[in-house]
């Protein structure tokens, strides 16, 4: 198989882990990867702000360097072109002044255009980076037909960010237990996560379709 470009949003293993397993294999296990696009803060910054990530990100970066794969760093406003109608535009870079939720907030967001349709990829950014994006860009740059909800759909950006994005479709990159807010099998709504609040936000915004992984998602009961 062939991957033209592999985008990484931020330095958490659940977002680079699949690539990490592939590059451990000789010749990437036969998978042809044209380039890897990412922008992580320094290991020193990661060690200062989220030391627990160091044992994972350090070997990943070492293996990536050994793999010989072409690496590119995205820049704000930079556009990656794929054919006549498909583009990925980088909307931000990491901000070393953000010391709250620092690695998630260091995530890179992309606005994808495919013909006349737009997709916003938010990674795991939090409130702080979401608010900064709203200040950096006019509303029409954030507005998108499809939005991948940040941080697996909960404890990510605030509602005001989604109100500006105003998607028709939202995608939940969310496991079933988190979608159900189900802790340790105790049942729907038993957990501490804010998934159900975000479901209500989507209803309020007027999202017409919600996709959970590869399936359409029923909203479930509305929670105030």
Per-residue pLDDT of the chain (224 residues; tens, 9 = 90+): 999 999 999 999 999 999 999 999 999 999 999 999 999 999 999 999 999 999 999 999 999 999 999 999 999 999 999 988 999 999 999 999 999 999 999 999 999 999 999 999 999 999 999 999 999 999 999 999 999 999 999 999 999 999 999 999 999 999 999 999 999 999 999 999 999 999 999 999 999 999 997 565 555 444 33
Specify the CATH architecture of the domain 76-224: 4-Layer Sandwich (3.60)
- Please calculate the CA angle 12-14-17 and round it to the nearest 5 degrees: 95
Global pTM reads 0.93
- Cα–Cα dist 123/100, whole Å: 16
Q: In the chain, at which residue ranges do the beta strands (DSSP E only) sit?
A: 2-7, 32-37, 71-72, 79-82, 86-90, 110-114, 117-121, 146-148, 169-172, 209-212, 215-216
Alpha carbon 130 to chain centroid distance?
A: 12
- Cα–Cα dist 220/199, whole Å: 8
Instruction: Delimit the CATH 3.60.15.10 region(s) of the chain.
Output: 76-224
């Amino acid at each position: 198989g062939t991957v033209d470009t592999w985008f990484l949003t931020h330095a958490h293993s659940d977002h680079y882990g699949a690539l990490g397993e592939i590059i451990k294999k000789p010749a990437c296990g036969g998978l042809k990867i044209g380039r890897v696009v990412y922008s992580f803060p320094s290991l020193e910054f990661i060690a200062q702000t989220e030391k627990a990530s160091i044992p994972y990100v350090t070997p990943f970066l070492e293996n990536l360097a050994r793999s010989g794969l072409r690496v590119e760093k995205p820049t704000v406003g930079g556009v990656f072109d794929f054919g006549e109608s498909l583009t990925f535009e980088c909307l931000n870079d990491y901000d070393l002044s953000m010391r709250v939720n620092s690695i998630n907030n260091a995530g890179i967001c992309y606005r994808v255009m495919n013909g006349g349709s737009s997709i916003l990829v938010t990674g795991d950014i939090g409130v702080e980076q979401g608010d900064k994006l709203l200040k950096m860009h006019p509303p029409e740059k954030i507005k998108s037909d499809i939005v991948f909800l940040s941080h697996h759909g909960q404890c990510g950006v605030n509602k005001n960010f989604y109100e500006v994005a105003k998607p028709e479709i939202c995608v939940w990159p969310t496991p079933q237990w988190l979608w159900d807010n189900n802790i340790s099998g105790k049942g729907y709504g038993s957990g501490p996560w804010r998934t159900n609040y975000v479901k209500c936000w989507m209803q309020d915004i007027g999202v017409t379709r919600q996709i959970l992984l590869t399936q359409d998602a029923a909203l479930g009961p509305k929670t105030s």
